[in-house]
Amino acid sequence: MARAEAKINSRQVQAIQAKRHALGVSDEVYSEMKRSVGVESTRDLNIIQFNDLMRRMDGTARRKAKRATADGRRKTEGGKSAGGNDPSAVDRPPSSAWKPLHHSARRSGMHNKPAADKEAMIRKIEAILTELKLDWAYADGIAKQQTRGQIERLRFCDLDQTRKVLQALCVHQNRQRKKNMAEGVDVRDQKFYLRELQSDQCQCGKSKGSGKSFCYSCWKKLPVDLQRPLYRRLGQGYEEAYEQAARHLDDKGHQYE
């Protein structure tokens, strides 16, 4: 009886986290699953609850597979009836397919699609790593350091832990930018600023509207004389305005409160 009540070890914690990410189980669904077996934290699971939770996730995976098979059959039938042999009517990949850009993604397991609520942050992290010429292993190292060795890969982090990794990378990115500017090195082009504008993730780690330079919180902390130039067009002074605003927020410590 005492053995059944013993908490699971770190390897079992990593195993269950790896499984839920591989199956694409969102943080919300996973939290409901944990509550259904009587715990709030993965580390509070005993071996019986651990096995029960693993079975529940297997059941979720089977249901997803059945739905995907049924949906694929309906799409194929619909394509044949509506478009005959039109290849565009079937087998069309989803527009939101996960396509990691960084060459080291597979080594860290980041070639797998992240949970939907973390995808924007993961994209931002990937862009920073690409700019700084760093591997995903660097982000894994930050995750391991911040969780004191409990989590060794970024892909196992929950939403809040992922946000903290992004914030740490933003700090490092801004320091590197300052260093490059002091040395007269310009490593960014217009595509960088376009990606920043199109992103729905502010460099502080919070959400922002696509087409906006910063989130509302960061925007309100900028003086008016730094806000107005951000309305300039790319190639017509926007780049300089963005850099000045980012340096102001970084110098004042606003971004990482």
* 240 and 167 housed in the same domain: yes
How does pLDDT run across 163-216, given as a tens digit for each residue?
999 989 888 888 887 777 676 555 556 677 777 787 777 877 778 888 888 888
Question: Which stretches of 62-217 are assigned E, i.e. beta strand?
Answer: none
The per-residue pLDDT for 142 is 92
The per-residue pLDDT for 71 is 64
In a domain, 97, yes or no: no
Q: Indicate the angle between helix axes 119-131 and 136-146, nearest 10 degrees.
A: 120
* 70 and 172 housed in the same domain: no
- The alpha-carbon radius of gyration of the chain (Å, integer) is 22
Q: Give the whole-angstrom CA distance, residue 136 versus residue 103.
A: 9
Per-residue tokens: 120: 């924007």
Strand partners, 201: 207
Other beta carbons less than 10 A from residue 155's beta carbon: 25
> Average pLDDT of the chain?
76
| 240 close to 181: Cβ distance less than 8 angstroms | no
* 77 and 170 housed in the same domain: no
* Mean pLDDT, rounded, for 71-89: 49
* Mean pLDDT, rounded, for 144-151: 89
* 80 and 119 housed in the same domain: no
Other beta carbons less than 10 A from residue 64's beta carbon: 13
Q: What is the pTM of this model?
A: 0.43
Domain holding 143, by residue range, is 106-252
Other beta carbons less than 10 A from residue 240's beta carbon: 11
* Mean pLDDT, rounded, for 125-144: 86
Q: 82 pLDDT band (50/70/90 cuts)?
A: very low
* 27 and 64 housed in the same domain: yes
